[in-house]
Amino acid sequence: MPMLKIHYSLESDLKKDIVDIPAPDEINIRVSNLVLKTGKGKKIAKGELIAEHPSRFGGAYHAPVSGKVTKVNYHHITIKSDGTDNCVEPVDLSSLETGKELLRTLQGLGVDVAPLSSASRLLIINGLNPEPGISVTEQLLRVELKTIEAGLEMARRFIAPEQTVLAVSAGSPYRLDGAEIKQIKPKYPNSLDALVAKKVTGKEFPEETRIMSVVDLYRIGKIVLSGLPITDTTITVGDTNYHIPLGTPIRHLVEYLGLEVSSGDKVVLGGPFRGEAVYSLSEGVKKADHGLFVVKAGSFPAIEDATCINCGECVLNCPARIQANLISRYAEFEMFDHAVRHGLHSCLECGLCSFNCTARRPLLQYIRFAKTQLMNQGAGEQEQG
């Protein structure tokens, strides 16, 4: 087994095309916090609506295969594929004017339309790979340019920007029609939206600025060109990118690609800095997942709930210039107001503080905990008020 190399580089050396992974017999889609639109025992066609997002602009979810819903619980629904190509009819978008109806249609086809919901002077397209080890963004820029440009055109109809900028890693050849180029050093965490926006505008959290990723545009483009909802995601495993139906259990991927996973290993969906370690190989891939990593047991010293030794590495490495050591302690003792006062909401969730912590404290976890608790409190208050 090759040694795991830790690095911050966001560069990718892409030679292959994107490989399609065939749909498995059974898929598991996570539906916690979604509004279910189907039920157990229902027969559904590929592309049929299965759930809606509860927020105002969140995209809907659709069946990635044709088949039957066999299990529904709080977390997942399971669909057993019937192996046919039975698919919903495409929607004709070209007949629709730019406006509410088109927006709702896009939302209904799976696009998170929040970025399209109002106009903005500047549109920034984040064309950097999101995290080390993930090359989806540059891969799409390399081989799916037409689709991305179709998506960009659609996005521009809504946002009506005066200026469009594509942020790419310095030295890379990627371009988009009608977008200026901003070269950014391809080193994590420079790929985070907030830092890209700062590099482009020189301001922190600038106004009148919308930022979208290449993947966002690619998805919109795909819908525009096909009229069909989003039912897959693109994921990097090793040096190759794969199109993979949403909800495909990791086990299927692991078997198909011949990966080695044993007890005690971590399997991470998403990136090495911000991703999620799954607890079961039956877990299905989600829309926002763009990487799959197997971290072998013993590769890293385990996270511990140890006391901080005050070494300062978390502070010295923080791109948001906040004191993760302090904030995490406030979060630990549920003193959320203090955490906010010390800049909790400036945290970009890059994970570098935990990455570098000498005492191996779960700093990012505490920060996320504080943020969710505050959000839930806020939501609770709104309901009451």
Partner 1 sequence: MTPPVIKAMSDVAVRLTVSPAPHWRSKRTVEKMMMCHLLALVPAMAMAIYMFGIRAASLAGIAGAVAVVTEAVCLKLQNRDINVDNYSALYEGVLFAFLLPAGAPWWLAAIGAVVTIALGRTVFGGFGCNPVCAPLVAWAFCRLSWPQAMDIDFNTAQFAMNYPLDQLKHFGVDSLYQFDYKNLFYGFQLGGIGSSQVAALLVGGIFLIATGWIRIFIPLSFLIGVAGTATLFWGIDPSVYADPLFHILTGSTVFAAFFLAPDVASSPVGKIPQILFGLIAGIMVVIIRVYGIYPDGVPFAIMIANLLTPLLDRVRPKPFGGR
Span 335-364, contacts to partner 1 by CB under 8 A: 342-343, 346, 348, 351-352, 354-360, 362, 364
CB 211 within 8 A of CB 197: yes
Structure tokens at 47: 């592309």
Alpha carbon separation from 155 to 129, 218, 243, 247, 265 (Å, rounded): 21, 11, 23, 27, 41
Residue 331 binding partner 1, by CB under 8 A: no
Edge-to-edge strand order for the sheet containing 49-52?
A: 35-36, 49-52, 61-62
The interface partner of residue 75, options being partner 1, ligand SF4, none and the CB cut-off 5 to 8 Å by kind, is partner 1
Structure tokens at 131: 């995290």
246-265 residues in contact with ligand SF4 (CB under 6 A) are none
The interface partner of residue 297, options being ligand SF4, partner 1, none and the CB cut-off 5 to 8 Å by kind, is partner 1
CB 350 within 8 A of CB 196: no
Smaller CB separation from partner 1, 8 or 57 = 8
Three-state DSSP state, 164: strand
The interface partner of residue 122, options being partner 1, ligand SF4, none and the CB cut-off 5 to 8 Å by kind, is none
- Figure out which of the listed residues 162, 205, 255, 334 binds partner 1, where binding follows CB under 8 A: 205
CB of 330 to ligand SF4, least distance (A): 12
- With tokens 């909802």, the residue in question is 229
Residue 364 binding ligand SF4, by CB under 6 A: yes
- Figure out which of the listed residues 174, 293, 330, 336 binds partner 1, where binding follows CB under 8 A: 293
Smaller CB separation from ligand SF4, 211 or 244 = 211
CB of 314 to ligand SF4, least distance (A): 3
Stretch in the footprint of partner 1 (CB under 8 A) among 33-41, 139-147, 211-219, 295-303 = 295-303
Closest C-alpha among 112, 136, 123 to residue 176: 123
Stretch in the footprint of partner 1 (CB under 8 A) among 62-70, 211-219, 226-234, 272-280 = 272-280
Residue 325 binding ligand SF4, by CB under 6 A: yes
Residue 128 binding ligand SF4, by CB under 6 A: no
Residue 353 binding ligand SF4, by CB under 6 A: yes
Instruction: Kindly tell me the sign of the dihedral angle through the C-alpha atoms of 139, 145, 147, 149.
Output: positive
- How many residues line the site for partner 1 (CB under 8 A)? 73
Stretch in the footprint of partner 1 (CB under 8 A) among 38-46, 220-228, 236-244, 317-325 = 317-325
The secondary structure of 295-314 as a DSSP string is E-TTSSPPP--PPP----HH
CB of 185 to partner 1, least distance (A): 18
Residue 357 binding ligand SF4, by CB under 6 A: yes
Three-state DSSP state, 68: strand
Alpha carbon separation from 154 to 4, 76, 103, 151, 226 (Å, rounded): 41, 32, 10, 5, 14
CB 31 within 8 A of CB 51: yes
- Figure out which of the listed residues 160, 311, 375, 379 binds ligand SF4, where binding follows CB under 6 A: 311
**Three-point CA angle 20, 156, 195, nearest 5°:** 75
- Figure out which of the listed residues 181, 277, 375, 379 binds partner 1, where binding follows CB under 8 A: 277
Alpha carbon separation from 70 to 36, 99, 217 (Å, rounded): 14, 38, 33
> E strands, the chain, where?
19-20, 26-30, 35-36, 43-44, 49-52, 61-62, 67-72, 76-81, 122-126, 163-169, 180-184, 209-213, 232-237, 240-245, 266-269, 276-278, 292-295
64-83 residues in contact with partner 1 (CB under 8 A) are 73-76
The interface partner of residue 361, options being partner 1, ligand SF4, none and the CB cut-off 5 to 8 Å by kind, is ligand SF4
The contact set with ligand SF4 (CB under 6 A) reads 308-314, 317-320, 322, 324-325, 347-353, 356-359, 361, 363-364, 367
